[in-house]
Copies of this chain bind each other. A is one copy, B any other.
Amino acid sequence: MTNNRFLRKGYLLRNFNLQMDLALEAHDLLRGARGGEIPGVSVEEEHSANAVIKTVTISDEAGSRAMQKPIGTYITISSEALKINNHAEHEQLAAVLTDALKQVIHFRSPLESVLVIGLGNWNAIADSLGPRIANKTMATRHLMGRVPQEILKGVRPVSAIAPGVLGITGIETAEIALGVIEKVKPDLIIAFDALAAGDVSRIGATIQISNTGINPGSGLGNHRTALNEETLGVPVIAVGVPTVVNAAVIAHNVLESFMEQLEHKPQLHQLWDQLPQPLLNNIVEQTLAPYTNQLTVTPKEIDDIMNNATNVIVKSLTTVLHPQMNEDFANCFV
């Protein structure tokens, strides 16, 4: 397809104050618009039994500016099995996620403490991934010193909060996080969040892991400013799953698919490529009024999708955080 398609999508996203949460999608878009590789950005691909793992690495400032994302590693695990409640497949995916987390988390000691932050809104199902995970995370920080050493063998001090969203708390998530961090003094933060994808096929079928934290505008709901080492003073690992596509993106995609179908009609194409972007955005806005960028597209089975993604992530998180934990103890939280 033509570079213009990517350029137009870029305009649209900015116009609707949307962002590609998935680095992989952002990279595809950018490479399309540029019509070639992006200096300072590389992509590697691996395959597991039931997943494809693609790692986008942004290695320098040029790459960062182009991608509008911080320098760092962005691992995307794609698997249809993530959507299905199948114990065996979930065990496999949890193992793949564990490998990915180990690529971005490097503990120097089994006693380094971790704060899990579950971003998003309890009351909006597609935005509830973070709170669900924080709620199911095995908090152990408060057990230290209160429970016999032998029982806590291989147990890392872990705490978990779900700070809520600005509209309900009246407080920026980053402010709450910073306040808690100053008391808890974790060595590492792992933040979980529901993401917005650029294509419905990714809903509930992708996990993104990055070592760059969470940065302005990203995430479903724009419910916070940056949560990264710069703002919080602690390394921040971000883990997200796309649960929605913004309706404006769907609207745009269908227009582009339409034009693709007509590529063999040069005069029509020429016309299309000459269309002023404001006119296109105007069309999308009309269609989505009065909601514009507040409309999300979700599959009817979103409830199952949330349960399955949460299940796989919590399984893996327990393994990563407490590698030598007593088997039974661990099972109690899977």
Contacts and interface: CB of A to CB of B under 8 A. Distances in A.
Contact of A166 (B86, B87, B142): B142
Interface in A148-171: 157-164, 166-171
A85 B328 CA distance: 10
Contacts of A179: 176, 178-184
A302 B286 CA distance: 20
Given A181-B179, A182-B182, A294-B299, A139 B167 contact: yes
A24 interface: no
Contact of A288 (B200, B286, B295): B200
Contact of A85 (B122, B139, B334): B334
A59 interface: no
A303 B256 CA distance: 32
A154 B258 CA distance: 45
B161 A176 contact: yes
A295 B299 contact: yes
A147 interface: no
A255 interface: yes
A287 B142 contact: no
A257 B283 contact: yes
A111 to B, nearest CB: 14
B300 A294 contact: yes
B300 A124 contact: yes
Nearest to A252: B254
A295 B87 CA distance: 26
A17 interface: no
Nearest to A272: B268
A333 interface: yes
A238 to B, nearest CB: 20
Tier of interface size on chain A: 35 or more
B180 A176 contact: yes
Interface in A286-334: 286-291, 294-303, 327-328, 331-334
A300 B166 contact: no
A251 interface: yes
A260 B280 CA distance: 12
Interface string A124-149: 11010000000100011111000000
A96 to B, nearest CB: 18
B251 A254 contact: yes
A178 to B, nearest CB: 6
A303 B124 contact: yes
Contact of A257 (B183, B247, B286): B286
A123 interface: yes
Contacts of A84: 332
B257 A287 contact: yes
A-B pairs, top 3 by smallest CB distance, nearest first, are A139-B170, A179-B179, A141-B170
